[in-house]
Amino acid sequence: MRQIHRAGEKMFVDYCGQTVPVKDPKTGTVREAQVFVSVLGASNYTFAEATWSQKLSDWIGSHCRAFAYYGGVPEILVPDNLKSGVSKPCRYDPALNPTYQDLAQHYGVAVIPARVRKPKDKAKVETGVQVVERWILAVLRHWEFFSLDELNQAIGGLLERLNHRPFRKLEGTRRSRFEKLDQPSLRPLPLEAFEYAEWAKARVDNSYHVCVDRHFYSVPYTLVGHELDVRLTADSVECLHGSRRVACHVRSFDRDGCTTIIEHMPESHRRYAENDPEGLLRWAEGVAEPVVSVISSILGDGRHPMRSLRAAEGVRSLEKSYGTERLVGACERALRIGSTSLKTLRSILSLGQDTLPLPEDSEPSLSPELGGEHVRGAGYYAGATDTGVSEEVGPC
């Protein structure tokens, strides 16, 4: 049956069966380049370019460059059933590759793949492939190319000649029919360029992370054991549970590395992760200024960093035992008397000294009220000589 194609309605896409060899100028290795072809239904206006493969990234990139070449977007895309475009072929309800579906949504086009082993469903591009092979690839068969850009420059020049070549049985050229029919009917290109993204599925492990491209990204710990959809762009990684986005990370290319957001951790893991100087200072800043001063003093007391860190952790544990208000009061008293050790804070809290009014004098001293009656005041040594022996006490 003769098909009548409405202007601006369909764009047919396919790859040539013939490839083009490209030689590496340094190693002499020859690599075969694929040739992508698209044809508009009403005018037969043709686009062609070479890519290294038919994989998803090249497939999507060729579509974007074809739309840019036409300067607009048709209503329907008619591809073959290659894996880069169609995940599960079906005559009535085919499953598209998620990235290809993103492309269709971005440009606002419908994708209606040809039926399996039914090339007449995309006869326009089948003929377009033959024309490209005859008028472009046949001309280049004796040429030698050393880069993909060099090959595409040659294809671009011959493509312009093809689109301006007069038809044998129709009036005008592909270019003139495009300007008359398809170009006025194409919809404008989106203002923003399409962001290429790949999709994958990943199961959340017991450490509430998913492994994507050999890097681990955290998700909320309540999703352990669930399978998530993961969307990867050049700069970001998005994790979706159903239709809800549950995590978003800056993409990392550190193999076997780990990216963790502290809000994704359970409370016990969060407390353990904060057992470092920076985490303890962040905790102290969220309590009160006196607590910050005490923690800073303990961390900078000159002991081995691990011992200082353990002592600072002990200060934080006092909040759980005595409450925030009493801990702040104990820190204020410790700062006033000039002793900010963990032992001093425990003594203040156990004796209830944090509930008493602060002494008016700010001179640091160890008063008897801290240690009890057995603590000697400064006056006890008032009669001491330079040798440290009291004048009132005879020789031993």
pLDDT above 70: residue 30 = yes
Q: Which of 128-142, 224-238, 362-376 has the lowest mean pLDDT?
A: 362-376
364 confidence band (pLDDT: 50, 70, 90): very low
Q: What is the pLDDT of residues 329-343, one digit of tens each?
A: 999 999 998 888 999
Q: Which residue has the tokens 């008619």?
A: 78
Instruction: Determine contact, residues 311/325, Cβ cutoff 8 Å.
Output: no
Q: How far apart, in whole angstroms, are the C-alpha atoms of residue 91 and residue 343?
A: 77
Q: Residue 321 has which token pair?
A: 């035992």
Confidence band for 395, pLDDT divided at 50, 70 and 90: very low
Walk me through the domains of the chain, giving residue ranges and CATH numbers. Answer: 10-185 (3.30.420.10), 198-265 (no CATH), 274-377 (no CATH)
Identify the band that residue 360 occupies on the pLDDT scale cut at 50, 70 and 90: low
Q: Is residue 57 over pLDDT 60?
A: yes
pLDDT score for 376: 56
**Residues 78-109: tens digit of each pLDDT:** 999 999 999 999 989 999 999 999 999 999 99
**Which one, of 387, 383, 329, lies nearest residue 354 by Cα?**
329
pLDDT for residue 387 is more than 50: no
Question: Which of 152, 123, 124, 119 has the alpha carbon at shortest distance from 136?
Answer: 152
pLDDT band of 369, cuts 50, 70, 90: very low
Q: Longest C-alpha distance within the chain, in Å?
A: 133
Q: 264 with 220: CB under 8 angstroms?
A: yes
Give the model's confidence band at 361: pLDDT under 50 very low, under 70 low, under 90 confident, else very high: low
Reported as half-sphere exposure (CB side, CA atoms, 13 A), residue 172 has a value of: 11
Instruction: Band the pLDDT of 227: cuts 50, 70, 90.
Output: very high
| Nearest by Cα to 152 from 267, 74, 49, 258 | 49
Does residue 272 surpass a pLDDT of 80?
no
Helix, coil or strand: residue 77: strand
Per DSSP bridges, beta strands 76-78 and 10-15 are parallel
Cα–Cα distance for residue pair 80/116, rounded to 1 Å: 8
The structure tokens listed for 56 are: 């998803």
Rounded mean pLDDT, 307-311: 85
pLDDT tens across 114-144, in order? 988 888 888 889 999 999 999 999 999 999 9
Residue 238's pLDDT is 97
What's this model's pTM, rounded to 2 decimal places?
0.70
Residue 396 confidence (pLDDT) above 80: no
Q: How confident is the model at residue 390 (pLDDT cuts 50, 70, 90)?
A: very low
Q: Are the C-beta atoms of residues 58 and 49 closer than 8 Å to each other?
A: no
SS3 category, 189: coil
- Pick from 113, 5, 116: nearest CA to 59: 113
Mean pLDDT value across the chain: 88
Burial class (CB in 10 A: 0-12, 13-18, 19+), 181: buried
CA distances from 241 to 201, 223, 224, 226, 244 (A): 10, 9, 12, 8, 5
364 to 66, 327, 342, 347, 371: CA distances (angstroms) = 79, 20, 17, 17, 15
pLDDT in tens, 150-196: 999 999 999 999 999 999 988 999 999 999 999 999 999 999 999 99
Q: Give CB contacts under 8 A, 24+ apart, made by 302-307.
A: 305/277
How far lies 369's CA from each of 54, 322, 330, 377, in Å?
Answer: 82, 20, 14, 11
Lowest mean pLDDT among 43-47, 234-238, 338-342: 338-342
**Residue 2: pLDDT above 80?**
no
* Helix ranges (DSSP H) in the chain: 56-70, 98-107, 123-132, 148-163, 174-177, 183-185, 267-273, 277-285, 289-299, 305-322, 324-337, 342-351, 368-371
Q: What is the rounded distance in angstroms from the CA atom of residue 170 to the CA atom of residue 162?
A: 15
Give the per-residue pLDDT at 394: 45
Q: What is the pLDDT of residue 267?
A: 86
